[in-house]
Amino acid sequence: MPAPAPAHGALSLIDNQVDTTTGTILLKATFPNADNMLWPGQFVATSVRLFTEENALVVPAQAVMMGQQGTYVYLVDGSGTAQQRQVTVERTSANTAVITSGLAEGDQVVTDGQSRLTPGAKVNIRGLVPPGAGGVTPGASSSSG
């Protein structure tokens, strides 16, 4: 049986206490519930969209590395070699990092094998994002040599 479509409602309360036994918090929301799929007191899996940031520059979170000088990514230049680039990460959500400085739209970043990579090394590129799809192009990986 297919899962029901997500229900959309308005959040009315977020309890500021975490239940340490379950790792959950109490949320209260109001839903239209025209199809009677929801019952009072029912436990459900939820996601809450706090806001939408327009035109955010994002990269896969695994592309961001931490070093002595702060956070950085390996950028793939026009000749197919890796260059280390310092970046500022505003926040990370799930598997995505929002970058506020250090990259531009269309830059290609390495998302696999960075721990074995050195600046100037050749990289193999897999699965490019089509031009115009937005964001930073994921899918570059370091070559093992």
User: In terms of domains, do 108 and 72 share one?
Assistant: yes
pLDDT of the residue at 145: 41
Q: Which of 59, 83, 55 is nearest to 137 (CA)?
A: 59
Say how far apart CA 109 and CA 144 lie, in whole Å: 17
User: In terms of domains, do 64 and 131 share one?
Assistant: yes
pLDDT of the residue at 143: 44
Range of the domain at 27: 1-50
Give the residue from 50, 67, 84 where a domain finishes.
50
Flag residues of the chain having pLDDT under 70: 1, 127-145
Say how far apart CA 88 and CA 110 lie, in whole Å: 16
Give the residue from 50, 69, 86 where a domain finishes.
50
Specify the number of domains making up the chain: 2
Q: Which 3-state string (H, E, C) describes the chain?
A: CCCCCCCCCEEEEEEEEEECCCCEEEEEEECCCCCCCCCCCCCCCCCCCCCCCCCCEEEEHHHCEEECCEEEEEEECCCCEEEEEECEEEEEECCEEEEEECCCCCCEEEEECHHHCCCCCEEEECCCCCCCCCCCEEEEEECCC
Q: Could you tell me the two tokens for 92?
A: 């990370």
pTM of the model: 0.60
pLDDT of the residue at 129: 56
User: In terms of domains, do 20 and 74 share one?
Assistant: no
User: In terms of domains, do 36 and 76 share one?
Assistant: no
pLDDT of the residue at 90: 94
